[in-house]
């Protein structure tokens, strides 16, 4: 695992344990855009820092137990982000198709798989696990 986007703090002399520094919001968004490309995950609109600024979208909503990890974050336009509310990714993706939008289904599936792998590696997240499994099953059938 590469620890994408993580930078290490300068280590005090004699220290052996590298401590990953928390990324701020801008750095996290940079990681997400480099990972997934600069497009809204729900409508494929191009995102940029002037006309259509990216907003942070939680793959597994935090009220469903989604962790505040960069693996649980996607980039979306403000419109899609606001309209989704707390809907799960599979249901909202279907709504987007119904509204004639072009969601990036493969990006959502990859993100869920990445989050699943991160949870296996780090442990915990008991509430999110079955949620991710069922969302993946639904998305793979679409």
Under the rule (CB under 5 A), what is the footprint of Zn ion?
A: 40, 42-43, 45, 77, 80
Residue 78 CB, nearest distance to Zn ion (Å)? Answer: 8
No. of helices (H) and no. of strands (E), the chain: 5, 2
| Residue (77 or 132) nearer to Zn ion, CB | 77
| Residue (30 or 52) nearer to Zn ion, CB | 52
| The two three-digit tokens of residue 115, written as one number | 């989050």
Residue 59 CB, nearest distance to Zn ion (Å)? Answer: 15
Closest CA to 43 of 71, 76, 86, 72: 76
Residue 97 CB, nearest distance to Zn ion (Å)? Answer: 13
| Residue (45 or 118) nearer to Zn ion, CB | 45
User: Which distant-in-sequence residues (6+ apart) come within 8 Å of 76 by Cβ?
Assistant: 40, 41, 42, 54, 55, 56, 57, 84
Residue 40 CB, nearest distance to Zn ion (Å)? Answer: 3
| Residue (92 or 131) nearer to Zn ion, CB | 92
Phi, psi angle pair for 110, to nearest 5°:
-60, -40
């Amino acid at each position: 695992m590469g620890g994408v986007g993580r930078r290490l703090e300068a280590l005090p002399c004699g220290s052996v344990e590298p401590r990953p520094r928390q990324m701020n919001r801008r750095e996290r968004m940079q990681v997400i855009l480099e990972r997934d490309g600069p497009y809204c995950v729900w409508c494929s609109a191009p995102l940029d820092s002037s006309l259509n600024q990216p907003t942070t979208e939680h793959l597994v909503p935090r009220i469903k137990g989604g962790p505040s990890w960069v693996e649980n974050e996607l980039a979306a336009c403000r419109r899609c982000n606001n309209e989704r509310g707390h809907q799960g990714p599979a249901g909202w993706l279907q709504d987007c198709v119904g509204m004639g939008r072009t969601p990036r289904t493969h990006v959502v599936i990859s993100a869920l798989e990445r989050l699943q792998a991160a949870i296996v590696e780090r442990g915990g997240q008991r509430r999110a696990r079955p949620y991710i499994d069922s969302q993946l099953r639904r998305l793979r059938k679409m």
